[in-house]
């Protein structure tokens, strides 16, 4: 398992990215950036490493184990790919000068039968073929306008360029209408909702210095912990949403604009083995989010927070 152990003064976990399915043939990994960070060495500044002391090694392995244990098992009909156990024979020089930050992640995917996959592929193909003539016509029109704009610009005829740009904008609106119609067809196709996500990502972390979530609403507490979920861009669509469980003495308050502010109890002057807070992040569609939240190991993480 590749663990994130960043000894930075501040860390920001962004939760404001929205997943937009592109194709039923592409399994999007929500945690791509998150996993990339996990390749960073266990070092305060990316410099040299040293041998971990027995106490350091035991502490890191214990936290590693608890974080992985906090990741839910796959629900019925789903598969899970989770981080594996890590070894901590070495740590960065000056590792002990700041509190450890560590995280673990698991990705989930719904198991679809061959028949379901074929039905979606057939429906997608039919929708594409049906709209191809209209799309081709619009693309041809746009290419013609672009060619005219180029010629007008060469002649320094800026008035003509302005008129052609307006035509181009009108064509773009036509394309948007077709795109919206195709999206609606895919949402209610004979093969089901082709665009509905069949993936989820869950991560657990200790000592996050800061967490941001876009326009969150507060959900019922879990084991006494605050739960926040981002505002959906389109409530009609069952797109994946970011949800976070804040474990420990976090402060959640409203600012002057009515928005929610999240303040972490993290203190970078504490000892390396001081666990001040934790968080569980879930990115999934609403129909499975509730189950993931309930099965996350919130109690396990609450138990390792320093008293």
Q: Would the pLDDT of 9 be above 80?
A: no
Q: Would the pLDDT of 33 be above 70?
A: no
Q: What is the percentage of the chain residues whose pLDDT exceeds 90?
A: 58
Range of the domain at 65: 13-112+198-304
- DSSP-derived secondary structure letter, 235: T
Q: Are 13 and 208 in contact (CB under 8 A)?
A: yes
Residues 133 and 167 in one domain: yes
Please state, as a whole number, how many other Cβ atoms lie within 10 Å of the Cβ of residue 81.
12
Residues 40 and 98 in one domain: yes
Across 23-51, average pLDDT: 48
- DSSP-derived secondary structure letter, 304: H
Across 216-226, average pLDDT: 94
Residues 177 and 232 in one domain: no
SS3 195: coil
Residues 206 and 299 in one domain: yes
pLDDT at 46: 54
Band of pLDDT at residue 307, cut at 50, 70 and 90: low
Residues 143 and 248 in one domain: no
Across 57-69, average pLDDT: 95
Residues 74 and 287: their CA atoms lie apart, in Å, by: 14
Residues 166 and 242 in one domain: no
Identify the residue whose tokens are 């039905």: 119
Q: Would the pLDDT of 52 be above 50?
A: yes
- Between strands 13-14 and 211-212, the pairing is parallel
Orientation of helix 114-154 relative to helix 158-187, angle to 10°: 170
Q: Which residue has the higher pLDDT, 7 or 127?
A: 127
Buried b (16+ CB within 10 A) or exposed e, 210-242: ebebbebeebeebeebbbbbbebeeeebbbbbb
> Based on the structure, what is the number of domains in the chain?
2
Domain boundary among 162, 187, 212: 187
Q: What is the separation of C-alpha 20 from the centre of its chain, rounded to a whole number of angstroms?
A: 11
* pLDDT per position as a tens digit, 244-274: 999 999 999 887 777 788 999 999 999 999 9
Across 34-63, average pLDDT: 71
Q: Are 267 and 290 in contact (CB under 8 A)?
A: no
Q: Which residue has the higher pLDDT, 9 or 79?
A: 79
Closest Cα partner for 208 from 243, 246, 242, 241? 246
- Between strands 217-222 and 225-229, the pairing is antiparallel
pTM over 0.75? The answer is: no
Residues 176 and 273 in one domain: no
* pLDDT per position as a tens digit, 100-136: 999 999 999 998 888 878 888 888 888 889 889 999 9
Residue 4 domain flag: no
Residues 83 and 164 in one domain: no
Q: Are 95 and 42 in contact (CB under 8 A)?
A: yes
Residue 6 domain flag: no
Compute CA distances 272 → 31, 102, 131, whole Å.
Answer: 26, 11, 59
Phi-psi category of 94—alpha, beta or left, where left has phi over 0 and alpha has psi -120 to 50? left
pLDDT at 239: 85
Q: Which residue has the higher pLDDT, 189 or 38?
A: 189
Chain mean pLDDT for the chain:
83
């Amino acid at each position: 398992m590749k663990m994130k152990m960043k000894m930075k003064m501040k860390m920001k976990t962004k939760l404001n990215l929205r997943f937009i399915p592109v194709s039923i043939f592409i399994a999007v990994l929500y945690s791509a950036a998150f996993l990339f960070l996990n390749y960073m060495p266990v070092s305060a500044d990316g410099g040299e490493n040293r041998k971990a002391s027995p106490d350091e090694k035991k502490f890191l392995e214990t936290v590693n184990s608890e974080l992985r244990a906090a990741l839910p098992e796959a629900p019925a009909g789903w598969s899970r790919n989770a981080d594996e156990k890590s070894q901590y024979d070495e740590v960065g020089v000056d590792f002990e000068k700041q509190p450890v930050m560590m995280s673990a992640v698991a990705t989930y995917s719904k198991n679809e039968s061959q028949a379901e996959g074929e039905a979606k592929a057939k429906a997608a193909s039919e929708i594409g073929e049906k709209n191809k003539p209209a799309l081709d016509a619009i693309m041809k029109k746009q290419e013609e306008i672009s060619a005219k704009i180029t010629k007008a610009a060469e002649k320094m005829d800026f008035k003509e360029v302005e008129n052609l740009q307006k035509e181009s904008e009108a064509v773009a609106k036509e394309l948007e209408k077709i795109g919206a119609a195709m999206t609606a067809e895919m949402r209610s196709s004979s093969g089901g909702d082709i665009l509905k996500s069949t993936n989820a990502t869950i991560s657990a972390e200790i000592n996050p210095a800061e967490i941001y979530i876009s326009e969150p609403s507060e959900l019922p507490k879990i084991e006494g912990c605050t739960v926040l979920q981002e505002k959906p861009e389109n409530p009609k669509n069952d797109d994946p949403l970011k949800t976070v469980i804040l474990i420990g003495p976090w402060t959640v308050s409203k600012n002057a604009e009515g928005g929610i502010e999240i303040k972490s109890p993290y203190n970078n002057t504490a000892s390396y083995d001081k666990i001040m807070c934790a968080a569980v992040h879930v990115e999934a569609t609403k129909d499975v989010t509730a189950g993931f939240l309930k099965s996350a190991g919130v109690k396990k993480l609450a138990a390792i927070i320093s008293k």
